[in-house]
Amino acid sequence: MSDFERQSYDVVVVGAGGAGLRAAIAAHEAGAKTAVVCKSLLGKAHTVMAEGGIAAAMGNVYSDDNWKVHFRDTMRGGKLLNHWRMAELHAKEAPERVWELEQWGALFDRTPEGLISQRDFGGHRYARLAHVGDRTGLEMIRTLQQRTVELGVDVFMECTVTRLLKDGDRVSGAFGYWRESGRFVVFEAPSIVLATGGIGKSWKVTSNSWEYTGDGLALALRAGASLINMEFVQFHPTGMVWPPSVRGILVTESVRGDGGVLRNSDGQRFMYNYIPEFFKAETSDSEAEGDRWYTDKTNNRRPAELLPRDEVARAINNEIKEGRGTPHGGVFLDIASRRSPEFIQKRLPSMYHQFKELADVDITKEPMEIGPTCHYVMGGVEVDPDSAQSKVTGLYAAGEVAGGMHGANRLGGNSLGDLLVFGKRAGEYAAEYAKRLGGDRPQVAEPDIQTASSVALSPFASDGGENPYTVHQALQEVMQDLVGIIRNEAELTSAIEKVGELEERISRVTVEGHRQYNPGWHLAIDLHNMLLVSESVAKAALARKESRGGHTRDDYPMTDYDFWGKLNLIVELGDDGHATIRQQPLPEPPPELAALLEEQH
Amino acid sequence: MRIWRGDSSGGGLVDFTVPVEDGEVVLDAVHHVQALRAGDLSVRWNCKAGKCGSCSAEINGKPRLMCMSRLSEYPKDEPLTITPMRAFPVIRDLVTDVSFNYVKAAQVPSFSPTAEQPQAPFRMQQVDVERSQEFRKCIECFLCQNTCHVIRDHEDNKEAFSGPRFFIRYAELEMHPNDGLDRRRLVQEERGLGMCNITKCCTEVCPEHIKITDNGIIPMKERVVDVKYDPVRFFSRRRGPKKA
């Protein structure tokens, strides 16, 4: 027996963002002995970055709203490539999950009647986002964090999982290290819930933090699970562009939801030139109609600025490319000329401070300069919609790390709802499975632990002299330049090649110092995950020969409904340790749900 | 720049020179040091946008978030000095052991709805939730905890003192329009509210600009006085919905 620290649980949740904490609460409440393992301190997860709100058809502001409209908006926003069952469950269950947060102490902004206020967002027919100013994610994480602590769930902070352990076809545990000491820890657990978030740290201009290295996706692939929709990466239309050091930091969509508009250097509201056929019927055809919509949604259609994110990001990209950008290479986002300073400060306090303190810009007086930033991956671990279980028995995934729910493009506000709805489901099913096993628990194999340990320590043994930070920067440039918003065959092929070269460089990465709180070592380990995930994205993007949602090919600019519209791409790990791609038929919704998609509003 | 390097056994300031760009913040400079000079330099950070509260440190002796401190605020001709938060034990370099705060967090009796509205959705007016919302802006950077002289200079007070971050957590619950639990005696008698002598150091360092002292601690002290010296009001209050 090795002398590593051992921990034994029914359910181990990897990740302590919205999905992870909701899963842990659910598993605990279902009677499972539950632990949460997270790379950062509790309460720092990426969920705090979510600003706008939680989409849930509560109907507090527009009583016509209901789950069917939300379902339709989600599917159409995802360019119909979503797993219909996930979109259905999400639309139906999101309101309950929001009220649950209120039950645990969350304080959302209110309507005049004293109910939870709901705001407008891109792609949503009605004002639907429960919010707290522009810091909804913080409210959500704090509420879940406080609930987790109250219930007494064990939290392993600053602890990184590097490998999943298996017994035959079943998950048996996880192997990781304490960041603080560098010592290893083995978790024995029949149920593992992945809730590790996204992959954005592989791009240069990103709204994502250092944690977003695609750990969960890589862990799942190596454990034999499959990924779905990996070609679809969301570039949020509005990230900061200046000064350089803040490039990519998110500017919430609420700016547009609350009346902000996009202008090019000619002062033109250019989004009206970019309304696609698919959304013509539900989008206003004049600025005047769009402006009236904010107060009268019955008789007007929404402004072109509130098209789904993929449309807006592409339009901005094009304006800049055609020379109508701002001095710092963005476009203008203007709310100063459209709303009062009081309104702006009340509704968008974080944005006000962010621009004031980081860019010397007063957003109540002047427009912001913004441009697209890598924000979210629609793809993720392929899961069963109801139970959130992956192809591997005992391995669950929820939140951004899971795929299917958002199809080709995610609507703003649908992420926080996704975390809650599928976090809860994953936790419950994981607990139930562990309970059902009784004494028949999968065992952790000693040789697997030894392998995991030596793999994790390999950067100390190498004398190749590569600097992990340099390799990381090189990867970010490859993904930014070759697997960005607009893609083509030559660039994607080149990206796959370059990622392969980086893999060779990674094997030569050397870290200095010792194991105690050593970020260079941590990055060296994370790089393997980033590379495998980047390869998956590039290969899936190369395979899908059409443009749809968060995947735009300039060599295949059209959306192809007959062939590609009926297929998902699945990524699996080949015997050579590389990503392989195969096609899989898209599940078809039952007739009563399919009918909803055809309805015009 | 000068960065404190070391661990619990000791350490000292180490000089680094790195190129910086226009508009960069202190955290950028620290990252340059990591990438170019010292790959194993320990520092906590996550969002780099002032939202997660991870990168707290002392910059030229002042407790700040490194991601929200622009290099242009500091004189160009003097080296910048960055040291870890002083009130917490050092783990390594700029990373400190902040577990004190998690212990105090676990001691807070959580939100408990009133008998009038036991089950969400609740009806609450915006004007009534706003006071507590101010405190829920807290990003838990623990700079207020770090700067509070009750614990900064008196390690032995830590046991009996929750600190400003948690006084506003108690205030938030106390002012929550639908919370039915009274924590006033608890916060005074067991959480050390009385030890605060309202020097407002916490308010000064709060990156979220929460008026910790004026809107949180002072009203809490007043409400504690109510419960301590006015038993009639104390008992009547427990039966009815809470209104300040």
Nearest to B34 among A117, A246, A519 (CB): A519
B49, A139: Cβ pair inside 8 Å?
no
B39, A519: Cβ pair inside 8 Å?
yes
* Beta-ladder partners of B25: B70
Q: Which amino acid does the sequence have at A572?
A: E
Residue in this structure with the two tokens 């402004």, named with its chain if needed: A303
C-alpha span between A400 and A198 (Å, rounded): 6
Using N-to-C axis directions, what is the helix angle for A67-77 and A591-598, rounded to 10°? 70
HEC-encoded secondary structure of chain B:
CEEEEEECCEEEEEECCCCCCCCCEHHHHHHHHHHHCCCCCCCCCCCCCCCCCCCEEEECCEEEEHHHCEHHHCCCCCCCEEECCCCCCEEECCEECCHHHHHHHHCCCCCCECCCCCCCCCCCCHHHHHHHHHHHCCCCCCHHHHHCHHHHCCHHHHHHCCCHHHHHHHHHHHHCCCECCCCHHHHHHCCCHHHCCCCCHHHHHCCCCCCHHHHHHHHHHHHHHHHHHCHHHHHHHHHCCCCC
C-alpha span between A573 and A575 (Å, rounded): 7
Closest CA to B121 of A150, A58, A63: A58
Residue A265 has which token pair?
A: 């250097």
CATH tag, A5-234+375-437: 3.50.50.60
C-alpha span between A219 and A163 (Å, rounded): 6
B120, A359: Cβ pair inside 8 Å?
no
Residue in this structure with the two tokens 């760009």, named with its chain if needed: B21
Quickly list DSSP for A447-467: HHHHHHHHHHHHHHH--S-B-
Ranges of CATH 1.20.58.100 domains, chain A: 452-567
Residues ≥6 apart with Cβ < 8 Å to A130: A53, A54, A56, A58, A98, A108, A116, A117, A118, A136
Residue B92 has which token pair?
A: 């390594």
E-only strand ranges, A267-413: 331-334, 368-377, 380-382, 395-397, 402-403
Q: Which residues of A touch B24 (CB under 8 A)?
A: 243-245
Ranges of CATH 3.90.700.10 domains, chain A: 236-374
HEC-encoded secondary structure of A37-71:
ECCCCCCCCHHHHCCCCEECCCCCCCCCCCHHHHH
pLDDT score of A283: 96
**Chain B window 23-82: which residues touch A at a Cβ cutoff of 8 Å?**
23-25, 28, 34-36, 38-54, 68, 70
Tell me the average pLDDT of chain B: 93
Residue B125 near chain A (CB below 8 Å): yes
Residue B129 near chain A (CB below 8 Å): yes
Residue B79 has which token pair?
A: 């080296």
Residue in this structure with the two tokens 């094997």, named with its chain if needed: A507
Residues ≥6 apart with Cβ < 8 Å to A328: A241, A242, A369
C-alpha span between B69 and B61 (Å, rounded): 13
CB–CB of A312/A271 below 8 Å?
yes
Nearest C-alpha of chain A: how many angstroms from B233? 25
In the predicted model, what is the mean pLDDT of residues A414-422? 98
Residue B239: pLDDT band (50, 70, 90) is: very low
Residue B232: pLDDT band (50, 70, 90) is: low
The 10s digit of each residue's pLDDT in A178-227 is 999 999 999 999 999 999 999 999 999 999 999 999 999 999 999 999 99
Nearest C-alpha of chain B: how many angstroms from A350? 9
Fold of A236-374: Flavocytochrome C3; Chain A, domain 1 (3.90.700)
HEC-encoded secondary structure of A135-197:
CHHHHHHHHHHHHHHHHCCEEECCEEEEEEEEECCEEEEEEEEECCCCCEEEEECCEEEECCC
**Chain B window 168-227: which residues touch A at a Cβ cutoff of 8 Å?**
173, 176, 179, 209
CA–CA distances in Å: residue A270 to residues A284, A314, A478? 13, 12, 30
pLDDT at B240 over 90: no
pLDDT at A553 over 80: yes
CATH tag, A452-567: 1.20.58.100
B40, A511: Cβ pair inside 8 Å?
yes
Residue B235: pLDDT band (50, 70, 90) is: low
Nearest to B46 among A210, A245, A250 (CB): A210
CA–CA distances in Å: residue A109 to residues A53, A278, B127? 10, 33, 10
Q: To 10 degrees, the CA torsion angle through A317, A318, A320, A321?
A: 110
CA–CA distances in Å: residue A253 to residues A166, A278, A348, A409? 42, 21, 10, 15
Quickly list DSSP for A531-577: HHHHHHHHHHHHH--S-BTTBEESSS-S--TTTGGGEEEEEEE-TTS
A249, B132: Cβ pair inside 8 Å?
no
Q: Which one is the CATH code of B2-96: 1.10.10.410, 2.120.10.80, 2.60.120.330, 3.10.20.30?
A: 3.10.20.30
The 10s digit of each residue's pLDDT in B69-82 is 999 999 988 999 99
Closest CA to A345 of A134, A138, A137, A136: A134
User: Does A442 sit behind a cis peptide bond, omega within 30 degrees of 0 on the bond before it?
Assistant: no
In A442-470, which positions are buried (b, 16+ CB within 10 angstroms) versus exposed (e)? bebeeebbeebbeebebbbeeeeebbbbe
| Active-site option among A236, A314, A347, A441 | A236
Ranges of CATH 3.50.50.60 domains, chain A: 5-234+375-437
pLDDT at A601 over 50: no
Tell me the average pLDDT of chain A: 96
Q: Which residues of B touch A251 (CB under 8 A)?
A: none
A339 catalytically annotated = no
pLDDT score of A563: 97
* Beta-ladder partners of A36: A13, A155
Strand A170-178 relative to strand A159-167, pairing: antiparallel
What Rg do the C-alpha atoms of chain A give, in angstroms? 23
> What are φ and ψ of residue A571, in 5° steps?
-110, 135
Residue A151: pLDDT band (50, 70, 90) is: very high
Q: Which residues of A touch B35 (CB under 8 A)?
A: 467, 469-470, 473
The 10s digit of each residue's pLDDT in A80-110 is 999 999 999 999 999 999 999 999 999 999 9
C-alpha span between B14 and B6 (Å, rounded): 10
C-alpha span between A20 and A424 (Å, rounded): 9
Task: Provide the ipTM.
Answer: 0.94
CB–CB of A496/A503 below 8 Å?
no
A236 catalytically annotated = yes
In A61-78, which positions are buried (b, 16+ CB within 10 angstroms) versus exposed (e)? bbeebbbbbbbbbbbbbb
Residue in this structure with the two tokens 């004189």, named with its chain if needed: B75
Class of domain B99-239: mainly alpha
In the predicted model, what is the mean pLDDT of residues B14-21? 94
pLDDT score of B226: 81
Residue B144 has which token pair?
A: 């207020």
CB–CB of A192/A171 below 8 Å?
yes
A244, B92: Cβ pair inside 8 Å?
no
Q: How many CA atoms lie within 13 A of A379 on its CB side?
A: 29
B50, A48: Cβ pair inside 8 Å?
no
Strand A191-194 relative to strand A184-188, pairing: unpaired
Residue in this structure with the two tokens 């050593």, named with its chain if needed: A518
Residue A281 has which token pair?
A: 């019927």
Nearest C-alpha of chain A: how many angstroms from B31? 10
**Percent of residues, chain B, with pLDDT higher than 90:** 89
B49, A521: Cβ pair inside 8 Å?
no
pLDDT at B238 over 80: no
- Chains A & B: contacts with CB separation below 8 Å: 176
Quickly list DSSP for A362-393: -TTTSPEEEEEEEEEES-EEE--TTT-B-SSB
CA–CA distances in Å: residue A488 to residues A169, A547, A553, A566? 38, 10, 5, 21
In the predicted model, what is the mean pLDDT of residues A555-559? 96
What Rg do the C-alpha atoms of chain B give, in angstroms? 21
| Active-site option among A90, A170, A247, A256 | A256
pLDDT score of B227: 78
Closest CA to A488 of A408, A556, A559: A556
C-alpha span between B100 and B142 (Å, rounded): 10
The 10s digit of each residue's pLDDT in B47-57 is 999 999 999 99
Q: Which residues of B touch A250 (CB under 8 A)?
A: 49
> What are φ and ψ of residue A142, in 5° steps?
-65, -40
* Beta-ladder partners of B63: B58
The 10s digit of each residue's pLDDT in B36-48 is 999 999 999 999 9
Residue B148 has which token pair?
A: 């509070």
pLDDT at A3 over 90: no
Q: Which residues of B touch A357 (CB under 8 A)?
A: 50, 68, 70
C-alpha span between A457 and B118 (Å, rounded): 53
C-alpha span between A564 and A570 (Å, rounded): 13
Residue B137 near chain A (CB below 8 Å): yes
A103, B120: Cβ pair inside 8 Å?
yes
Angle (CA) A68-A70-A74 rounded to 5° is: 120
In terms of pTM, does the model score above 0.80?
A: yes
The 10s digit of each residue's pLDDT in B150-203 is 999 999 999 999 999 999 999 999 999 999 999 999 999 999 999 999 999 999
Residue B110 has which token pair?
A: 């959580």
Residues ≥6 apart with Cβ < 8 Å to A502: A471, A474, A475, A478, A531
Q: Which residues of B touch A110 (CB under 8 A)?
A: 124-126, 129
Q: Which residues of B touch A209 (CB under 8 A)?
A: 45-48, 52
Nearest C-alpha of chain A: how many angstroms from B125? 5
Q: Which residues of A touch B25 (CB under 8 A)?
A: 245-246, 358
H/E run at residue A130: strand A129-130
In the predicted model, what is the mean pLDDT of residues A144-164? 98
The 10s digit of each residue's pLDDT in B118-131 is 999 999 999 999 99
C-alpha span between B56 and A385 (Å, rounded): 40
pLDDT score of B243: 44
Q: Is A480 exposed, middle or buried (0-12, 13-18, 19+ CB in 10 A)?
A: middle
- Nearest Cα residue in chain A from B71: A358
For chain B, what are the domain ranges? Answer: 2-96, 99-239
C-alpha span between A186 and A456 (Å, rounded): 13
